[in-house]
Every structure is written in C-alpha cells, then in structure tokens.
C-alpha cells in the first residue's frame, strides 16, 4: 500500500490521533496552518470528493462536525475553516480524500492567499445553465 493516509489509517504509520470511529480517523496535520489544524479521512481509500463512496463522504462529514466541536471547546478559536481540496491544482497534496479543520484567530492571516476573479467577466445565467446541464 503506497497511500500515506491509508497507511496511517491501517496503523502502519504513526499519527497524533484526535478522534476515530469505524469509518473515519481524525489526526493532527504535521504541516499545520494553525495550532490545532486537524485532518479527517475515511478509512477506505478514495482519491478525492469525485470518487469517494457517498457513505464515506457522509461519515467524514459527521466526524468533521464532531472534531470541529472538539476544537471549539478545547481551543476557543475566533473561527474555524473547513477546507477540502481536490487534485493538485486545487492544493491537494496527499491523494486520499481528506478534510482540513483549521482553527482561526482574528488577524492570523492563515489561508490569506484567496483572491476573487472579476465578476464582470462571468455570464452567471449561462454558467448556471451549463452546470445544470451537466447532471
């Protein structure tokens, strides 16, 4: 098995476990954006949101909520980002579906690289129709 997160889920590699159930594992990110930055993964492999089994996505969502509540009670952040990246162009580094829980403090500048496109360049009605047609 060459997937880093599959090896962590199988107990072959160590992690700093935060929570676990039958279907998911939550552990501290070893390259944290902020103190308390936690990852939640399904124990079954899926590369990203596009190919992960719906039941695994649901299990991860339940664990994300539980861990976000733990972060809230333990660290009292000013806010919490829930982030999920798909493929390298979107920032995914480990090709195993995972969700980041990132505690935030006012002014911490974590994740400050987000920028906006010029909304005048977007034909919103046509784009919405294009997305609806792709179902």
Give the residue numbers marked as catalytic: 98
Backbone angles phi, psi at 42, to 5 degrees: -80, 150
Tell me which residue of 64, 63, 75, 56 sits closest to 21, measured CA to CA: 63
Tell me which residue of 59, 54, 55 sits closest to 41, measured CA to CA: 59
Cβ neighbours around 77 below 10 Å, total? 19
Q: What does the longest C-alpha to C-alpha distance in the chain come to? A: 51
Distance of CA 52 to the CA centre of its chain: 13
**What whole-number distance in Å separates Cα of residue 47 and Cα of residue 57?**
12
């Amino acid at each position: 098995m060459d997937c880093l997160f599959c090896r962590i889920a199988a107990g072959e590699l160590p992690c700093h476990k935060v929570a676990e159930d039958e279907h998911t594992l939550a552990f501290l990110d070893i390259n944290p954006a902020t103190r308390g930055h936690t990852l939640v993964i399904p124990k079954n492999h899926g590369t990203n949101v596009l190919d992960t089994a719906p039941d695994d996505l649901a299990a991860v969502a339940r664990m994300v909520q539980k861990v976000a509540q733990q972060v809230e009670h333990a660290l009292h952040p000013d806010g919490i980002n829930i982030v999920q990246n798909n493929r390298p162009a979107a920032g995914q580094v480990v090709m195993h579906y995972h969700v980041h829980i990132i505690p935030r403090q006012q002014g911490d500048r974590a994740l400050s690289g987000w920028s906006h496109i010029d909304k005048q360049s977007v034909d919103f009605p046509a784009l919405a129709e294009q997305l609806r047609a792709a179902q």
